[in-house]
Each structure stands twice: as structure tokens, then as C-alpha cells.
């Protein structure tokens, strides 16, 4: 019968292990707590709201910048085209006005020649060929005729229309004349003409003759 004394119990010796110690076993993970359906919907709604806000803000910024650039480019193009058209129209208007001015200046000498000639004629007529005969031009015409004659002092005759006798008589009867002159009424003398006759020579001293001298 075996003994109950512990010292008398046989001991089993085991060969020691030279292997490295085994790492400790990881602790067991706690059980996964899956969210409920309500929590999943809440998370989904929150993410949707955040993404919507972010996308809206980003889209607003990008849209504003894009719209600003597009509006600026379009406004510049429209303004440039309008300014170009306005400037083109103004240039054409100035070109036409300048062309018309140059054409007017080209025709200015021809347009003014006749009026200036007429003006000079009228001025000359009033100065030296008045409607009524004056003593000075009559005396000058007769003296010029006498200078052409070989013998001065010949008898002078003034051939005029009968209705002009009164006008010319005031001149012929002037005591200050350096010569004597007799009036010869002649109905064949045309209106505006009066002839000084001496020794076969005839000089027209009438109004029309004096106007012809002025216009010449």
C-alpha cells in the first residue's frame, strides 16, 4: 500500500525547454456593436447635409467666378463692338463731311468768280457810271477826244435821245466847261448811249458805254 507522505511521492523531472517564450495571447476583442437603423439614417442624413452645404458653397463660388469672367468677356466684346461701330460711323461721317468741304472748296473759285465780278461791276458803276451823268466823266471823255485831234478847238456836238436833253443840258450849259458843245437830238440813238462828235470822230459817253468800260 502506498504511503501518504508527500515527501515520499516520486517527482518527475522534465527536460527544460530552450525555445523562446511564446508571446502572450491577445485579449479577446469586445463584441462589435453595430449601429441601429436609426443611427445609420442619422449618419447618412448628416453626411448628405454636410456634402450638400459644401457642394452648394463651392458651386456658388465657382459659378460666381465663372459668371463674372463670362459676363466680363461678353460685356467687353459687346462694348468693343459697339464702340467700334460708333467710331466707324463717326469716322465715315467725318470723312463725308471733309469730302463735301473739299468739293466745296474746289468749286469755290468758280462759284465766287461771277458774284465777285458782278460786285466789282456794281461798285464801279456806282463810282464812275452813275444813273445820271456827272460833269467830271463827261469832261474827261471830251478832253480825251480832243487830245486825239490834230487841231483842238473844233466844234463839238452831243448826239443824244430827245428825252435825255434836260439831263445833258445841265452839263453842256455849265459855264465852267473848257469847250462849247451843241446838243443834237436823235431818236435813233439807243437808250443809255450818248455820242460826242467832232471832225468825223464819235465817242460814246453814255451810261452803257461807261458800264462796259467798268466791266472790262
Q: How far apart are CA 155 and CA 165, in angstroms?
A: 19
From first to last of its 216 residues, the chain has per-residue pLDDT tens of 455 555 556 667 776 777 777 777 777 777 777 778 788 788 888 888 887 788 777 877 877 787 777 777 777 777 778 777 877 788 888 778 777 766 766 665 555 555 555 555 554 555 454 445 556 666 666 566 555 443 545 567 888 899 988 888 888 887 776 667 888 999 998 888 888 887 677 777 777 655 654 454
Phi-psi region of 192 (alpha: psi -120 to 50; beta: other; left: phi over 0): left
Q: What is the pLDDT of residue 14?
A: 72
Eight-class DSSP state of 176: T
Residue 209 CB-density burial (10 A; 0-12 exposed, 13-18 middle, 19+ buried) = middle
Q: Which pLDDT does position 150 carry in this prediction? A: 38
Phi, psi of 125 (to 5 degrees): -65, -40
What pLDDT is stored for residue 100 in this prediction?
76
pLDDT at 136 (0 to 100):
65
Say how many Å lie between the first and final Cα of the chain, rounded.
Answer: 188
pLDDT at position 38: 83
Helix 108-128 crosses helix 207-215 at what angle (to 10 degrees)? 140
Residue 185 has a pLDDT of 92
Q: Is the pTM of this model over 0.85?
A: no
Position 129 scores a pLDDT of 47
Amino acid at each position: 500500500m502506498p504511503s501518504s507522505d508527500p515527501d515520499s511521492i516520486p517527482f518527475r523531472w522534465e527536460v527544460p525547454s530552450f525555445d523562446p517564450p511564446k508571446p502572450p495571447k491577445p485579449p479577446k476583442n469586445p463584441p462589435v456593436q453595430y449601429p441601429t437603423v436609426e443611427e445609420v439614417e442619422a449618419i447618412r442624413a448628416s453626411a448628405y447635409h454636410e456634402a450638400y452645404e459644401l457642394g452648394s458653397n463651392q458651386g456658388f463660388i465657382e459659378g460666381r467666378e465663372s459668371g463674372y469672367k463670362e459676363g466680363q468677356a461678353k460685356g467687353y466684346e459687346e462694348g468693343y463692338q459697339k464702340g467700334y461701330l460708333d467710331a466707324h460711323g463717326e469716322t465715315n461721317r467725318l470723312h463725308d463731311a471733309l469730302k463735301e468741304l473739299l468739293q466745296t472748296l474746289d468749286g469755290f473759285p468758280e462759284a465766287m468768280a461771277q458774284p465777285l465780278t458782278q460786285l466789282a461791276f456794281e461798285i464801279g458803276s456806282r463810282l464812275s457810271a452813275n444813273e445820271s451823268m456827272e460833269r467830271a466823266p463827261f469832261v474827261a471823255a471830251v478832253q480825251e477826244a480832243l487830245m486825239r485831234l490834230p487841231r483842238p478847238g473844233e466844234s463839238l456836238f452831243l448826239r443824244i435821245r430827245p428825252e435825255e436833253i434836260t439831263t445833258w443840258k445841265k452839263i453842256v450849259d455849265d459855264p465852267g466847261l473848257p469847250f462849247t458843245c451843241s446838243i443834237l437830238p436823235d431818236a435813233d440813238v439807243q437808250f443809255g448811249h450818248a455820242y460826242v462828235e467832232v471832225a468825223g470822230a464819235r465817242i460814246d459817253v453814255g451810261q452803257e458805254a461807261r458800264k462796259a468800260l467798268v466791266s472790262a
